[in-house]
Structure 1
Amino acid sequence: MKQVWIIVIFSYVAFVGITSGKGVDLTFPKGFLIGTATSSYQVEGAWNVSGRGESVWDWFTKTKPERIADGSNGDTTSNSYYKYKEDVKYIKSLGLDYYRFSISWSRILPTGYTNQINKDGIQYYKNLINELLENGIEPIVTLYHWDHPQFLEEMGGWTNEIIVDLFVDYARIMFKALGDKVQRWVTINEPTLICRYGYYVNSLQIAPGKDLGDVGVYLCGHNILKAHAKTYHMYDKEFRATQNGQLSIALQCMGYVAADGNDVDTAFQFDCGWMAHPIYKGDYPEIMKSRVALVSKAQGYSRSRLPRFSKKWISYIKGTWDYFAFNHYTPVYVTRDPDERKGIYNSDTGLINGILPSWEASAGIGFYVLPSAFGDLLRKLKDEYDNPPVWITENGCPDHGEIEDYNRIRYHYLYLTELLKAVKRDGCNVKAYTIWSIIDLFEWNSGFTVKFGIVSVDFDDPSTPRSPKLSTYWWKNVIKSRKLLPIPTNSSMMLKKEFSSCHARSGPFS
């Protein structure tokens, strides 16, 4: 026990020393929003009830359980399909401004086609939205967070262009059903990860778990961009005048570090810029087009593996945004591949991804803590895309489920300090910050081996009870004060007492 408290005290001293925030105004700007997020497959459970069809993740976790760290799946997970009201109570008690959740495509259209619309699925999301609005919480709806119907995947999924119009059909149903109460939409979440790890990379696959070489990855991205753009224009034409909502796509943007600034830009363009450049500037980044063409030729292909957009498509995709949404978790250190001096091309980027020994690791594989890379990314987005209104739609820290989650508090403090610096000192136009996630959930390939929630879920208990963590109390006080606050003590009981004395006793964890 003595050793445990020594570790806790050391962690606290390190926290205070690192996060003093000297020179930074730690007050959130007026109108700045703080919310939280989840996704359908990760929290809902109820995988085969009320007319829901099989999703690509249902199929993947059951046929390839070896791809999941603990062999688990999302059949029950956090059970939010039945416990959404309890989750909303936590969101309200924390004082959060909004809740970003996603729709299960297969819960609405079991086969992906409109000839079979599941009214029970639509009603579930109506109930959730009504519960949020009744509690003063804005619903932000993501149409697609990695879980399309398995029926569509058997026809090629995102590598078959037929999915473009099927996605638009699905989106239209959701706009009709929910759009009168939803003002902010996300079309597709993290498209680069879907394509890279769903159809290409064999070492860390996500559903559908296909290795289509270095051709399928770009075909996937091409179709996703078309689906997003067609959905945006459809909303413009059919719904914007009456619903007046805003739409965007949520990109995954790493924080790149390198000795050479040109290498940072190349890595950025192949990651965040892959989808952002066609939407915000027009067509794929030049470095992508030239590099993929070069490497494709060296590999013996008759044409570039990166598909070309016609001038009509370039114009059609450009400008299909109302705000810039992105998710961020980790830095990456890039170096040039020395094999290229010998004429050997191992990758389209010509770069090798790695880490620096000085970086602090978190519980999740591939997750590292480097707040300065987050600040640099915000400044890069400002300069690259003419300082658009930015919504950070996911940011968070994995651990092993500790209730006294000091590292999570420390992570959010450090990253939000960088955010405030970028906003107040550098003029970055950041409008909102989204905590990933409100509750513990099924974390894709990691299963239940790591946790992201600021509220704990006991997955060993069939009733999946929720309970607060230390970060629950910290976040409540931060949101109430509208200012970043360090940990005042290393005693969790004292911390809870001090925090609870700062607000009226209401909600599930007071």
Structure 2
Amino acid sequence: MQRILILSLAVLGSNAASVKKFPDDFLFGAATGSYQIEGAWNISGKTANMWDYLTHNKPTVIADESNADIACDTYHNYKRDVEMMRELGLDAYRFSLSWSRILPTGFSNQINQAGVDFYNNYIDEMLKYNITPIVTLYYWDLPQKLQELGGFTNPLIIEWFEDYARVVFSLFGDRVKHWITFHGPREICLEGYGETIKAPQLNATGIGEYLCAKYLLVAHAKAYHAYNNDFKPSQGGECGLTISINYYPPLTDSEEDKAASELFNQENWAIYSDPIFSEQGGWPKEYSERVAAKSKEQGYPRSRLPDFTEEEIALVKGAADFFGLGHFTAAFVYAYASDYEAGNIVPSSADDTNVGTSQPTTWPTAASSWLKQAPRSLYNVLTHVHKRYSSPVIYVTENGWSTTGGLQDDSTVSYIRAMLTDVLDVLYEGIQIKGYFVWGFMDAFEWTAGYSERFGLYNVDFESAERTRTARKSALVYKHIIANRVVDADYEPENLNITIDEGH
């Protein structure tokens, strides 16, 4: 591949970008999360997870007061899902497992065979058509029984998660060769335990997110080593995790803004990636020192960010075969003048960093108010991760754009083309990117936004009993990119009919 790329660049010079191609072994996929699409929330042995509990007991926290009791009803429509994968020509599909569908008590003492059968059927249907299943063990839907025991603020979550992982590896590892332990630690810990953006809405600011961060990372490492030592020798495969990384450059070239940018990056994502991927292991230096100093000022006897033991640092360091990267947007970061200006809750991770962010009004905005299309943001994130962590293997496991509906989603098309152009550019610079997964495969329950924001390549009619799926323009454009391995800015689908290429 290297020889072909070099030849193309040498012959075409500055025009090389117009013919850049993705390698044949590059994995194009799409992604979903179990709670968001499966439905069947309380049948065939499944018990409640913390999103079931939240939406049933506090429906007003969801924008449209909806829930995912039925959602896309993938539990009954999984064959249609695989048919859609074939229509797009996907190489791979990333989906997550529902912990409480497999282990109804949350513990490994009882395995729900109906749940196992569902996932076996789903995986086998993909493999029938040479679609590679990439499985996430945890995508934000902790069994409610475990949440009532403290969830990710209880150190025993390390044992509970490893037990769950071992059950899953033993059940599906003969066919699944790509494993992601956790998706989005920031969203799990900061938004769920330090704030109220996600379930369980613990809002234990400045403490809950840090307990969660430590126990989640150790739980990940335990599961990784369990796979590496006890399953990989016979099953093959690889195991990593996905970390959400948006691009946060300094607003100005001042030393203050540069320091603020680094601190904000450490708070938002490096707190989860440095312990695994950095050369030294452990927490990011500047951020851990800041939290320790703030904690002392606030009268705490020790840092609110709990220390790793030397044994834990060694356990977590290097515990990933690849870097799963989720990306959506960007913002400029600048230093605040005072805590009053920041308006932060004390204590909190926001107060610990005490920085400000801004997004230019000229950037296109999606249906999600937080989501703006920043120029070259994915390129900048990928090159930053590549340099920060000495060239890890990377999969872009989640990247997408929201609309309010409709089939002519030109803004999604523009976004996907821009992001995949970024991926092509870093590929041609020699960075190890092995795959790209668009979010989302189809419309789904988008957490506290409910069904008011639509990320899907496929429109889902949530009013129909069948949950009818219909391809959007973005699906046709993505299909064309996959088939031709190029980003063609001039391609326009003749219509929105989509069919299966039987050769796939």
Question: Is this a same-fold pair by TM over 0.5?
Answer: yes
Pick from 217, 222, 225 the counterpart of residue 230 of structure 1.
222
Cα distance in 1 between the residues matched to 2:204 and 2:484? 50
Give the C-alpha shift of residue 422 in structure 1: 1.9
Cα distance in 2 between the residues matched to 1:342 and 1:212? 22
Q: Provide, for residues 406-432 of structure 1, a one-character-per-residue CA deviation record: whole Å limited to 9, x for no partner.
A: 1111100011111211221x3322111
Cα distance in 2 between the residues matched to 1:484 and 1:29? 13
Residue of structure 1 in register with 2:201 after alignment: 209
Is 1:456 aligned with 2:450? no
Give the C-alpha shift of residue 436 in structure 1: 0.8
Give the C-alpha shift of residue 479 in structure 1: 1.1
Give the letter for the 1:404 counterpart.
Q
Residue of structure 2 in register with 1:9 after alignment: none
Which secondary structure does the structure 1 equivalent of 2:67 belong to?
coil
Question: What is the 5 A alignment of 1:180-199?
Answer: 180-199=174-193
Give the C-alpha shift of residue 366 in structure 1: 0.6
Residue of structure 1 in register with 2:9 after alignment: none
Paired residues, what number? Answer: 476
Q: Provide, for residues 39-97 of structure 1, a one-character-per-residue CA deviation record: whole Å limited to 9, x for no partner.
A: 10000000011000110110011111121110000000011010010010110121111
Cα distance in 1 between the residues matched to 2:332 and 2:394? 24
Pick from 426, 433, 446 the counterpart of residue 422 of structure 1.
426
Give the letter for the 2:478 counterpart.
W
Give the C-alpha shift of residue 24 in structure 1: 5.1
Question: What is the 5 A alignment of 1:111-510?
Answer: 111-202=105-196, 205-258=197-250, 259=252, 260-281=257-278, 282-339=281-338, 347-424=351-428, 426-489=429-492, 494-496=494-496, 506=500
Residue of structure 2 in register with 1:17 after alignment: none
Cα distance in 2 between the residues matched to 1:268 and 1:280? 15
Question: What is the 5 A alignment of 1:87-98?
Answer: 87-98=81-92
Q: CA RMSD in A?
A: 1.9
Identity %: 37
Give the C-alpha shift of residue 267 in structure 1: 1.8
Q: Provide, for residues 217-241 of structure 1, a one-character-per-residue CA deviation record: whole Å limited to 9, x for no partner.
A: 1001111001000111111221111
Cα distance in 1 between the residues matched to 2:495 and 2:470? 16
Cα distance in 1 between the residues matched to 2:150 and 2:78? 33
Cα distance in 1 between the residues matched to 2:259 and 2:387? 15
Contact 1:24 1:417 in 2 (8 A): no
Give the C-alpha shift of residue 507 in structure 1: 6.3
Contact 2:477 2:491 in 1 (8 A): no
Alpha carbons of structure 1 residues 48 and 256: separation in structure 2 relative to 1, 3 Å: same
TM-score (norm 1): 0.90
Give the letter for the 2:226 counterpart.
M
Give the C-alpha shift of residue 113 in structure 1: 1.1
Give the letter for the 1:305 counterpart.
R
Alpha carbons of structure 1 residues 38 and 342: separation in structure 2 relative to 1, 3 Å: closer
Question: What is the 5 A alignment of 1:41-60?
Answer: 41-60=35-54
Contact 1:25 1:420 in 2 (8 A): no
Deviates more, 1:45-54 or 1:357-366: 357-366
Give the letter for the 1:56 counterpart.
M
Give the C-alpha shift of residue 277 in structure 1: 0.4
Q: Provide, for residues 275-332 of structure 1, a one-character-per-residue CA deviation record: whole Å limited to 9, x for no partner.
A: 1100112101101111111211222212111000011110111010101111011112
Give the C-alpha shift of residue 371 in structure 1: 3.4
Structure 2 residue runs of 5 or longer lacking an equivalent are 1-14
